[in-house]
Amino acid sequence: MKSRDVPLGFLAHPDTGTHPGVVIVHDVWGLAELYREFARRLAQAGFAALAIDLYRREVKITNPGEWMRELSDPAVLKDVQSAIDFLHADPSVGSGRVGVAGFCIGGTYALLAACTCQGLAAGVSFYGILSYQHGLLSSPDLDPAKKPREPLHAIGDLRCPLLGIFGASDEFIPSDDVKELEANLARGAVPSEVRVYPGCGHAFLNETRAQAFRQESAADAWQRMLDWFGRYLR
């Protein structure tokens, strides 16, 4: 496996040959070591993984909910598109397909990217926030220029197969939102799947957070992602 820092973040890929690419979109706290490790694990599984750094300029987050409400969805998706284009042009990918996987707010952007961005063949959203009307991101003061379309409405424009992974006890994502996502996906023609893990809350794949991490469910969810990408990227 080879890895290096690149202008957009951190790239890891197998030593030789060309491989499917995956853009990893981090959670609200940025490109932590966890997401670099996720990139390495994907490389070990035969993918070229770019863990994008959305916060390439110095930032200081004190209130994560407020920070996420102020993020510009169009600006973030432009960065995700740049990461997709980077992988398509990188020798480690060559003419291979590219997918996206995101976690927490990164899961939101993975879903939106699957509905918006060019050049994606598959997406996986891990506990992405689905609604701007209720839950963590709800606010009467949301800027429509920064939040023009919530994920539950965007899903009608889904462009590539999407896997959604959630915890049944997620305090930030109402179960009704997940049910609505399932219903909206069922009305479309693009392959999709939603998996809800009992006994899991938000960020249950985050092994750096002992209270949130659920080892068995995390391992199963990770394998489901690998299977999804194996099906649609290879």
Closest CA to 111 of 38, 145, 161: 161
Distance CA 160, CA 123 (A): 7
Contact 103, 28 (CB under 8 A): no
Q: Which token pair is 4?
A: 């290096």
What is the pTM (predicted TM-score) of this model? 0.97
How many Cα neighbours within 13 Å face the side chain of 231? 16
CATH of region 2-232, choose from 3.10.450.50, 3.90.1150.10, 3.40.50.2300, 3.40.50.1820 = 3.40.50.1820
Count of residues for the chain?
A: 234
Which residues touch 72 (CB under 8 Å, ≥6 apart)? 145, 146
DSSP per-residue string spanning 176-208: HHHHHHHHHHHTSSS-EEEEEETT--TTTT-TT
Q: What backbone torsions phi and psi does residue 103 show, to the nearest 5 degrees?
A: -130, 130
Q: Which token pair is 13?
A: 């890929």
Burial of 199 (0-12, 13-18, 19+ CB in 10 A): exposed
**Tens digit of pLDDT at every position of the chain (234 positions):** 999 999 999 999 999 999 999 999 999 999 999 999 999 999 999 999 999 999 987 677 889 999 999 999 999 999 999 999 999 999 999 999 999 999 999 999 999 999 999 999 999 999 999 999 888 888 888 999 999 999 999 999 999 999 999 999 999 999 999 999 999 999 999 999 999 999 999 999 999 999 999 999 999 999 999 999 999 999
Contact 19, 93 (CB under 8 A): yes
Q: What is the per-residue pLDDT for 6?
A: 97
Distance CA 10, CA 52 (A): 7
Q: What is the pLDDT of residues 108-135, one digit of tens each?
A: 999 999 999 999 999 999 999 999 988 8
Q: What is the per-residue pLDDT for 58?
A: 66
Which whole-number Å values give the CA distances from 163 to 34, 127, 144, in the listed order?
A: 21, 11, 27
Which residues touch 162 (CB under 8 Å, ≥6 apart)? 111, 114, 122, 123, 124, 125, 155, 185, 190, 191, 192, 193
For the chain, the structural domain boundaries read: 2-232
What's the one-letter identity of residue 206?
A: N
Residues involved in catalysis: 104, 170, 202
Q: How many CB atoms lie within 10 A of CB 100?
A: 34
